[in-house]
Every structure is written in C-alpha cells, then in structure tokens.
Amino acid sequence: MIFLFIPPYSFVQTPALRHICLFFWLFCVALFWYDSVAMKKITLAAVNARFSHSSLALLCLKHAAFEKEAVTLREYNLGQNTMDIAADIIATDPDAAGFSCYIWNIDTVVKIASVVKAVRPHCLVIFGGPEVSYDCEQLMRHWPFVDVIVRGAGETPFYHLTRSLAADESILSTPSSCIRTPSGVVHTPAAPPFELSSQPFLYDDLSAYKNKMIYYETSRGCPFRCAYCMSANEPLSFLPVERAIAELEYFMRADVRQVKLVDRTFNYPDKRARQIIAALIALKQKHPQSRTNYHFEISASLLTDETVALLASAPKGLLQLEIGIQSTDDAVLQAVSRTHDTRKLLKNTQALCRAGNMRVFVDLIAGLPLETYESFSHSFDDAFALGADKLQLGFLKLLRGSKMRENASAHGIVYTSHAPYEVLQTPTLSYEELRRLHRIEQVLDSLYNEKLTQKTLSILTRVYRSPFAFFDGYTRFLEEEGYFSKPQKTETLFALLFCFARQAVDETLLREALAYDWLCLGKPGGWPDGIFVSTVNPKDALRRFSELPLSLSAREFGKRFTAAYFAMLFGAPVWLLFDHSKKRGDEGFITKIKQSETANASEMF
C-alpha cells in the first residue's frame, strides 16, 4: 500500500527507467482509485404486475448511468414473496438500491425497501416513478428509510447521482430530486426536459425477455390535457421516425411475441404515425415468418381517412389497438378537459373494429365528474355497439400530480386515501352505484372480454332494451343469488345466466346458445345445470358420420371431438363437430357435418 504513495522513480537513477516506473506507478494509482472509489454497486429493482411484463424504466436508467457496469437490474412480480425479493436484493450487497414506484406496486415496494434498509443501513434507498414524483417531502416523512426521491423523468437525475456516487462526492448536485440530509429534506432544481432522441437503443440483448412483453416508446408526453392524467404535464419528445422504424424491425427480426408501445398518443401527429405503420406493413412482407404483434394506444378522433384505410390494410395479427373513449357525454368530457370529436371517434373506431385484421380494445372510465349512472349507461352502450374485441371498464384514479386530484374537493369527489386513489363516490354517482359498476365490470370481463358466452351475448344484447340493461339486470340477479360473496366456477355463471334469461328468450334457443359457448371452451367433462344439447358417443359418431376424413379409433375420437346437435341456433337443424385439439377461432375448430347417408359428408362451418 505504501508503494501507491511513494513514487518508485525516486529510487531509480536512469532517466528512461524513471519514466517507465512513473508510468507504472500512475497506472497502479488509477487502478486502485477505480476499484476503491468508482465502482459503487447499484441495484435497480422493479416489481411488475405479472411475470410476462418487463420494466422499461430500469433499462432507461441503466443506459443513463455514469457507469453501466456498476448497475445490476432485478425484476420481480407481485406474485412473489416480498421477503424473498428483499433477500435477493440484499444478496447483491448494493451501495444504493433504486425502486420503480407505481400505484399498483407501491405497497409492495415500500415493504421491500424498508427491509433492505433495515438489514443494510449504509445502502442508499432511492425511489422514483410516477407514484412518488409529487408530495416528496410528505412521503419522506412517512417513509424514513427512503434517502432520495427522483421527481419525473429519471435519466438525467440518475446520471448525476451515479456520477457523484462513483466519485464519492455529495449527491446534492442531483437535479429533480428530494434528498434526505441531517438538516432536513433538500429539494434540488428541476432537470431540463429529457430529449428522447438522446437515449440509446435499450434492447441490445433480448435473452432476458423470452416469453415476456417488451415495452418501447417512440414518443413521450401527450398533446391532450386530460385532468385525470399525469402525462398532461409532460412535454412532447419524439424519436426520429427512421430510427423508430429500424428499432421496431429489430424486434420483428427477433420474432418478439409482443411489443407494447407506451406512447400516450401514438398517432399524434397523424403523418408520423402513418409513416411508421406503413413501414411495419412493408416489413411484415420482408419478414413473413415473424409473429411479432405491435400494440398502440391511439386517439381515434385524430385519425384521417387515409390512416384508417392504412390500418385496415395491415396483415392480420400485426397490429393491436387500444382506444380511449372514456365517456361519450360531452359535458363529462368538458369537465375533465378532454377534447375530442366523439362522433368521429366512434365512426373511426367502428371502422377499425369491422376491418377484422387487428384486435381493438376500447376503454371507458366510470366515476368522472358530472357522470350519472344513466349517462354512463349511454357511454357503455355506445362503446359496446362498436364490436371491439374488449371493452375495458376502468374507474377514475385521482393520481398524485393530476389536476383531477388537485380539484377533487371542488368536484365533490371522495376517493381512497391509499393507492390506487380510486373514486368512491361523486355528487352524481353514489357509492352503491359505483359498487354495482365494479360488479358489472366483473361480469363484462367474464362474458364478453374473455369470450365465455360470445354466441349467447349476440342473442341477449338484442333481446334486452340495451347491452347495459342486460349487464345491469344480470348483475343484480347475481347479487341476489349471492354470486359475488365467494369464488365461483365458470359453470355456475352459465347456469345462473340460463336461469336469469330463460324468461326473456326461447328456452331451447337459450340452452343451445349456452351449450355452444360451453363446447367452445373445451371438451366438457359435464354440463352446467339446465344446459345441454344432444351429443353422440364416439362409436356411434364414427358410424353415423363415417364419411368424415378421420382415421381415429373410437377412444381417440372421444378424447378429441364432440359431435353435438343444434335444432334452432342456426335457423335449421345442424350437427357440429368440435375439435378440442384446436382453439376457438382456429381453422377447423368447428366443422358442420351431415350424417353418412347424405351426400357431401362434411363442409367447413
């Protein structure tokens, strides 16, 4: 060790050797400094909602760090034990541990971080993310184990923080931060807005993302100023179009399962979005073997006819769209500063749903200011009529930093004091009405979004006064039957639906529709109460439908197929063969069959 502080050339008389020794001494000193000071170990942790999800935030921070090699990434999910997660982080022996905080993981993150700090008191605990970017001082009083909270975009603050740690200097120069000091919490000045184009490509190594969804952004910020959204405060920033296309092709070449773009409004501006969509369509022709799907969040009111036509021309399965309707009541939209042409939005969305080449999800928000149970029912019916693949019913969250939270008292909105800060009641929508909407959401997810009763719903939503009237009525019936008081099997939902709707629909037709939907779910081990159709045992099926192109034993046939008879459902009597080795929607899943004594033994149904 003394050697590092006494230059060796002082003992050497030859000038040439003195220079060599000096160089060697400086190299050793630099190496010692690097090992002892520069490489502070930093662990960044994300607790994702599901195993299939991944964290874009961690990648952004690692690539922004002063020394990437000093940063270790750890990803977990809400299904894991919090003590196991804490132990894994502690095992990395970090000098600093950073946590990505959202409304859906904050309770878990707080538990984990408190354990890490208790076991490793020297470890600098850093919080960042949308859930902690506001009310920092209050949060730090509540969480004494947190040393730093980064406000807003984290790239620039994290670079400064890691540089200070590497140099063993004060971290008070870190911008956009709240930092705990012996004399109190220090608020540092905000960093300049982050330019997305300055960020390097984040996914050089895809090995960690097998069977996971990849999150990607071509833009940040939003052109809208919706009062309930935190992105309303974020300035717009874009990747160059050429770069975005090249990086999206990279995922296609790698056959990534799904790339979910987190751009708040992907199709703003319209021309830019059209360039990217057109490029993806062309790239699919270049890489026809790729199964990559791209998910975009768009504003349908901004779409031009040209862009609608382009989207409708995309190869099937290439694109998936999520469209925020939120409400179709103009007064409600005005109350939350959401400005769009509702008629144009509905028209464009319906055109995209009818195109049939992409999955389309539409969103509604319950509990917005001025919304009543009746006005929400109209928004529900408007959205349901579009025929989207999913109708996602959400509930107003009063997020930290949003205008809606700031003005909650003025609007008379009551919401939970803990994350996710969900609306409980408003002056126009009671607590009881919102609870029923929660249960309607549960029923909607099962029957419609999960496609449990697709055929039956196509009948019932025409028989009842409106789609909402059906869901509201059935939910009330389920409440009376105690359905929501405990977990229930799928067959219970079917049996109760038959009991509820049999007074409104021909009983045979209803029974056949529910039986058809039940068979679409898989090989039936049994039937829900009251629901059945005529079926044929395997030996009889092979004899009666002998002209089918099947070379199977009766046992093999019975494991794979169900032959069922429907007298009314399709207007005329028909036998259908369900191939349970396939999925609903696959070619050949359902075959229309005729008995062997007739001509044309089979045809695709």
What DSSP assignment string belongs to 480-549? HTTGGGS---HHHHHHHHHHHHTTTS-HHHHHHHHHHHHHHTSS-SS--TT---EE--HHHHHHHTTTSS
Dihedral over alpha carbons 282, 286, 290, 295 (to 10 degrees)? -20
pLDDT digits (tens, 9 = 90+) for 86-96: 999 999 999 99
pLDDT digits (tens, 9 = 90+) for 171-219: 999 999 999 999 999 999 999 999 999 999 999 999 989 889 999 999 9
Confidence of residue 433 (pLDDT cuts 50, 70, 90): very high
Provide the 3-class DSSP secondary structure of residue 44. strand
pLDDT at 383 over 60: yes
User: Can you give the pLDDT at residue 101?
Assistant: 98
Contact (CB, 8 A) for 48 and 104: no
User: Can you give the pLDDT at residue 18?
Assistant: 57
As separate numbers, helices (DSSP H) first and strands (DSSP E) second, the chain gives 21, 22
What is the crossing angle of helices 454-463 and 490-501, to 10°?
30
Provide the 3-class DSSP secondary structure of residue 134. coil
User: Can you give the pLDDT at residue 604?
Assistant: 39
User: Can you give the pLDDT at residue 536?
Assistant: 84
Single pTM value for the model: 0.89
User: Can you give the pLDDT at residue 232?
Assistant: 82
pLDDT at 334 over 80: yes
Averaged pLDDT for residues 515-532: 92
User: Can you give the pLDDT at residue 211?
Assistant: 87
- Cβ neighbours of 404 (radius 10 Å): 25
Averaged pLDDT for residues 292-315: 98
**Least trusted range by pLDDT, from 381-385, 510-514, 539-543, 599-603:** 599-603
pLDDT at 30 over 60: no
Contact (CB, 8 A) for 134 and 3: no
Please report, rounded to a whole number, the percentage of residues in the chain having pLDDT higher than 70.
Answer: 91
Contacts of 85 (CB under 8 A, 6+ apart): 45, 47, 76, 108, 112
Contact (CB, 8 A) for 395 and 356: no
Q: How far apart are CA 429 and CA 423, in angstroms?
A: 10
User: Can you give the pLDDT at residue 228?
Assistant: 96
pLDDT at 252 over 80: yes
User: Can you give the pLDDT at residue 96?
Assistant: 98
Q: How far apart are CA 141 and CA 183, in angstroms?
A: 13
pLDDT digits (tens, 9 = 90+) for 461-472: 999 999 999 999
pLDDT at 27 over 70: no
What φ, ψ does residue 52 adopt, rounded to 5°? Answer: -75, -10
Higher-scoring residue by pLDDT: 211, 445: 445
pLDDT at 6 over 50: no
pLDDT digits (tens, 9 = 90+) for 542-601: 777 755 656 778 888 888 889 999 999 999 999 999 999 998 888 889 988 876 544 343
Confidence of residue 20 (pLDDT cuts 50, 70, 90): low
Average of per-residue pLDDT values in the chain? 91
Phi-psi region of 211 (alpha: psi -120 to 50; beta: other; left: phi over 0): left
pLDDT at 511 over 90: yes
Contact (CB, 8 A) for 221 and 84: no
pLDDT digits (tens, 9 = 90+) for 407-428: 999 999 999 999 999 999 999 9
Domain annotation for the chain: domains and CATH numbers: 2-37 (no CATH), 39-187 (3.40.50.280), 207-429 (3.20.20.70), 533-604 (no CATH)
Higher-scoring residue by pLDDT: 272, 1: 272
